[in-house]
Amino acid sequence: MQVQLIKRRDKQKPTRGSTREGNMDPSQEERFAFLAEWYDPNAALLRQYQFLFYPKDRSVEMFDMKNHRTFLRRTKYDDINLQDLFVGNRLNVFSRQLHLIEYGDQYTASKLGSRKEKTLAMIKPDATDKMGTIIQLIYDAGLTVTKAKMTALSRKEAMDFYAEHQSKSFFNNLVQFVTSGPVVAMEILGDEAVTAWRRLLGPTDSSVARNEAPDSVRANFGTDGTKNAGHGSDSLASAARELEFFFPSTGRGPSNTAKYSDCTCCLIKPHAIAEGLTGKIFNAISDAGFKISALQMFNMDRANAEEFYEIYKGVVAEYTGMVAELCSGPCMALEIHGSEAPKTFREFCGPADPEIARHLRPHTLRAVFGKNKVQNAVHCTDLPDDGILEVQYFFKILDG
């Protein structure tokens, strides 16, 4: 379907669907409004649009804010759901990656944003081998992972992170434990996310958790009050501080754990993340005996996606679709470590076409989780010599 560009004499920004008090006008069809940005690579400009979504028929509409004209006439677009609509998210609309930066009216803010919170979820060293199961619990609870990174904290970083506990008797043991191996830090978004994640974690002491919340993360994967599988911010203020520690608005934050040797690259594609398959794919990889030695979530722009897939240009018929898919939402980059990883992991991913994979190798990742040749759940390094190069692209260049 082609984007339809039309001009309008009416230069007033549309306001239908809400009133000044933020309540729905009963005479109007419900719609949600956002201010969105799109980077135009041809003009090297950041363009702003009013983006409208109509849940009744799942249609979208866009208005050019600078030129005061319709940019995209109202058009049905099935690839967007209500859960995708939150400030900070990136949407792929007709091959354009839109960044939602503000709510467009009070109705949208009160309807979609009033209970949305961000919090930090950290998987501690004793539970990183269970991260697939823990991440799946997060998605099953209606929460969304919007940032993620595996890191190995230095003693100074751990002391800074837990500075509020410096006078406590358990401080040294806590610092020693959290630096004993890699941790996985995640930004989680959802309704009352602070409370929801702490409920999933369970009581701080794992033995208490086994009695009071037997299905919780700490009950199942923790040992005691320090080795208790995970950490969660205890308030919105703490969440803001802790998220800034791991995912700073300027600078890099704690380093990733990539080894850049005996490795291959795996990308969990945006459609699989949007479908809540991340945890299941992690578990499948671990169950098959592969070691995830680094992970990080990225939002790819079109230029980076084209650069990463450059070797497929003019070679693979699906190249354009592959690029569009990769920049349609967040992807998860993984370093898979092992001496035979490039060859054996590629075999485990299976044929690029999931239909062929289901017939020939039904237990491979693409057979189980893929939909078609473009949305085939994962990308893996094709040539053994390219494994380190692809890992470096994400963990050195994009995270540089």
Q: What is the pLDDT of residues 40-66, one digit of tens each?
A: 777 778 899 999 999 999 999 999 999
Q: What is the pLDDT of residues 103-116, one digit of tens each?
A: 999 999 888 876 78
Higher-pLDDT residue of 137, 24: 137
Instruction: Of 346, 345, 341, give the one whose Cα is nearest residue 262.
Output: 341
Half-sphere exposure of 395 (CA within 13 A, CB side): 32
Judge whether residue 2 has pLDDT over 70. no
Please tell me the predicted confidence (pLDDT) of residue 53. Answer: 96
List 68, 165, 231, 379, catalytic entry:
231
Portion of the chain with pLDDT greater than 90, in percent: 73
Distance, CA of 61 to CA of 52 (rounded, Å): 5
CB < 8 Å & 24+ apart, contacts of 93-98: 93/51, 93/60, 93/62, 94/1, 94/2, 94/3, 95/302, 95/324, 96/3, 96/38, 97/38, 97/39, 97/301, 97/302, 97/327, 97/328, 98/36, 98/37, 98/38, 98/49, 98/51
Catalytic residue check, 231: yes
Domains and CATH numbers, the chain: 32-112 (no CATH), 116-246 (3.30.70.141), 263-398 (3.30.70.141)
Q: How many helices (H) and strands (E) does the chain have?
A: 16, 14
Please tell me the predicted confidence (pLDDT) of residue 18. Answer: 46
Judge whether residue 234 has pLDDT over 80. yes
Q: What is the pLDDT of residues 318-363, one digit of tens each?
A: 999 999 899 888 999 999 998 889 999 999 999 999 999 999 999 9
Please tell me the predicted confidence (pLDDT) of residue 137. Answer: 96
Judge whether residue 223 has pLDDT over 90. yes
Instruction: Of 331, 266, 274, 281, give the one whose Cα is nearest residue 305.
Output: 331
* pTM of the full structure: 0.81
Helical (H) or strand (E) element with 264: strand 263-268
Judge whether residue 216 has pLDDT over 50. yes
